[in-house]
A and B are shown apart, each in its own frame.
Chain A
Amino acid sequence: MSEKINGENNVLRLTDITMQFGGVVAINNLSLEVNTGEIVALIGPNGAGKTTAFNCITGVYEPTNGAVYFHGKPIAVNHPQGKMVKQYSGINADKYKNQKAVVYTPDKITHMGIARTFQNIRLFKSQTAFENVLIGTHLRRTSNFLTASFRLNAKEEKAMREKARNLLEIVGLADVGDELATSLPYGKQRRLEIARALATDPTLLLLDEPAAGMNPQETDELGEFIVDIKNKFNLTVFMIEHHMNLVMDISDRIYVLDFGKQIAEGTPDEIQKNPVVIAAYLGVDEE
């Protein structure tokens, strides 16, 4: 069983996260955690709020209520404010009322060590595969625009290029490094996005439907690949997925979301047998 509770083993924790857009509650009082070295999956029917959860973690959205902790440190804390006070239809608003709101822009959160891929691939269209990964190394720079322009940062630039080249090799894309990123086949584009995320030196990797559009064989390879890089780079992985084979194969634990609420949590075995989960996905039998 996973080691729950706090402290050194916990990488990511969400407590009472509610995300409300106007009158629509996208995520309802979600609490979950991901611990060191785990591969945790977030599954649920379409529209359940999974990508919204990712966006709350990475700072794209400010949660309406609740808190997100990364290695124990709060990276997002909020409670209903302004117009939302009246509109808020979730619970636990009082819990966070007295806490100071914490909000970081996505780039700061990436700096802290959380990297992500996107549901709809967002590669840099005008850049090659190599350049895409190279851009991922920019955030760890120590040069400023003057030293960079006058090439006083030659060593750092060389190191960045070497790192990008290595990452391309590791994901198996070294031979297409000079191709335009968007000219690559779909499966390779997904791997490229992962390589780019890895270039930012994360400790937690968020993968949003990494196997989308892949055939069963590619999905299997992807599963091996994810376990591989997790070990190689000492990562913790939190992923959204629909391919149940992949999820059941490589996940340590699974959270199930439906209509923004968590309806189940457990190991792959437990989840597969859980009647609530089955009902949510397949609907209840009429007979």
Chain B
Amino acid sequence: MFDTLLPYLLAGISVGGQYALIAVGYTLVYGILRLINFAHGDIFTAAGFFMVYLAAALPPILAIPLVIILTVVLGFTVERVAYKPLRTAPRMSIMISAIGVSYLLQNLMWYLTGGLARQYPVLPGLGDSIQIGSASTKVVTLVTPVVTVILVVALVLLIKRTKIGMAMRAVSVDFETAQLMGIKINSVISVTFIIGSAMAAIGSMLYFTNYTAVTPTIGAMPGLKAFVAAVFGGIGSIPGAMIGALIIGICENLIKAAGLTMFSDAFTFALLIVVLLVRPTGLFGEKTREKV
């Protein structure tokens, strides 16, 4: 029984880790701006395309960092152009802007790539086969959880121990007061988007090694699932996002193992609804009260 489940469990941990790297971007941005960054999934997709084109011209040792840099620039630009002007606008406006950016990015990618699925290049070592117990899988399945944990731990340390981390925490608790206290809001928000985009870029390298077809809309579903993971773990909590993502990744694959592939996506949304109804603050989130 374990033998038949093993490949699914491994796939679950692998994709869960990849979702976690995307989820961190959502939870950071939501914590600070109270914005569901609908465009985050498309930034993830763009990172995939960056690699497709760069790897064709450059060796991996150059392509990999360049992909991260380009993705970060993209995320930074999106924030400056589409979100910053709306910081004082009602919440719905900025969310609509995020949807608009998502729409634009998808259309842009379609235009630039012609709409055909592109093959993600094989990154050295990651694509190799490896035997774990009775299951045969790719090296990336092992690399992902390790990379995820390292990055998440690094991020948590950053938030807890550094000055910029403290600034981020302050802004997420009380935006206006943080500003009044002299915290450079623009820097904090930019750093947030930079971190989120960078992690999405790394996540994309791991994800597309497994699911090699890159299309303009390929990032929508992982993006949505990563967001659910962030909510499930408790929006604003980084370890929560990681744990939520792992749980989703594993359950999703177990459902596939049970033969109900059609529902593996729907499961994530059903989970979302249960969480929102039973415990909206998620596993590790905090409650807030509105003053009357």
A residues whose Cβ falls under 8 Å from a Cβ of B: 21, 51, 55, 60, 118
| Contacting pair A55 B292 (CB below 8 A) | yes
A contact residues around B289 at 8 Å (CB): 21
A60 CA / B292 CA spacing, docked (Å):
8
- Can you list 5 residue pairs at the A/B interface with Cβ under 8 Å? A21-B289, A51-B292, A55-B292, A60-B292, A118-B292
A55 CA / B290 CA spacing, docked (Å):
12
Q: How many chain B residues touch A (Cβ–Cβ < 8 Å)? A: 2
A contact residues around B292 at 8 Å (CB): 51, 55, 60, 118
A118 CA / B292 CA spacing, docked (Å):
8
Residues 278-292 of B, flagged 1 when their CB comes within 8 A of A and 0 if not, give 000000000001001
A60 CA / B289 CA spacing, docked (Å):
12
The 3 closest A-B pairs by CB, nearest first: A60-B292, A55-B292, A51-B292
Which partner residue on chain B sits nearest A58 by CB separation?
B292
Determine how close the nearest CB of chain B comes to the CB of A51; give it in whole angstroms.
Answer: 7
B contact residues around A118 at 8 Å (CB): 292
A269 CA / B140 CA spacing, docked (Å):
81
Which partner residue on chain A sits nearest B290 by CB separation?
A60
Determine how close the nearest CB of chain A comes to the CB of B259; give it in whole angstroms.
Answer: 42
A159 CA / B292 CA spacing, docked (Å):
32
B residues 253-292 touching A (CB-CB < 8 Å): 289, 292
B contact residues around A51 at 8 Å (CB): 292
A60 CA / B291 CA spacing, docked (Å):
10
Determine how close the nearest CB of chain A comes to the CB of B76; give it in whole angstroms.
Answer: 34
A179 CA / B292 CA spacing, docked (Å):
26
Determine how close the nearest CB of chain B comes to the CB of A110; give it in whole angstroms.
Answer: 14
Determine how close the nearest CB of chain A comes to the CB of B284; give it in whole angstroms.
Answer: 18
A51 CA / B292 CA spacing, docked (Å):
8
Determine how close the nearest CB of chain A comes to the CB of B281; give it in whole angstroms.
Answer: 14
A21 CA / B292 CA spacing, docked (Å):
14
A21 CA / B289 CA spacing, docked (Å):
10
A8 CA / B78 CA spacing, docked (Å):
66
Determine how close the nearest CB of chain A comes to the CB of B14; give it in whole angstroms.
Answer: 39
A176 CA / B289 CA spacing, docked (Å):
36
B contact residues around A21 at 8 Å (CB): 289
Which partner residue on chain B sits nearest A106 by CB separation?
B292
Determine how close the nearest CB of chain B comes to the CB of A141; give it in whole angstroms.
Answer: 25
Determine how close the nearest CB of chain B comes to the CB of A14; give it in whole angstroms.
Answer: 18
Determine how close the nearest CB of chain A comes to the CB of B286; give it in whole angstroms.
Answer: 12
Which partner residue on chain B sits nearest A55 by CB separation?
B292
Determine how close the nearest CB of chain A comes to the CB of B278; give it in whole angstroms.
Answer: 16
A118 CA / B289 CA spacing, docked (Å):
17
A51 CA / B291 CA spacing, docked (Å):
10
Determine how close the nearest CB of chain A comes to the CB of B291; give it in whole angstroms.
Answer: 9
B contact residues around A60 at 8 Å (CB): 292
A118 CA / B290 CA spacing, docked (Å):
14
Which partner residue on chain A sits nearest B289 by CB separation?
A21
Determine how close the nearest CB of chain B comes to the CB of A8; give it in whole angstroms.
Answer: 32
Which partner residue on chain B sits nearest A118 by CB separation?
B292
A214 CA / B292 CA spacing, docked (Å):
21
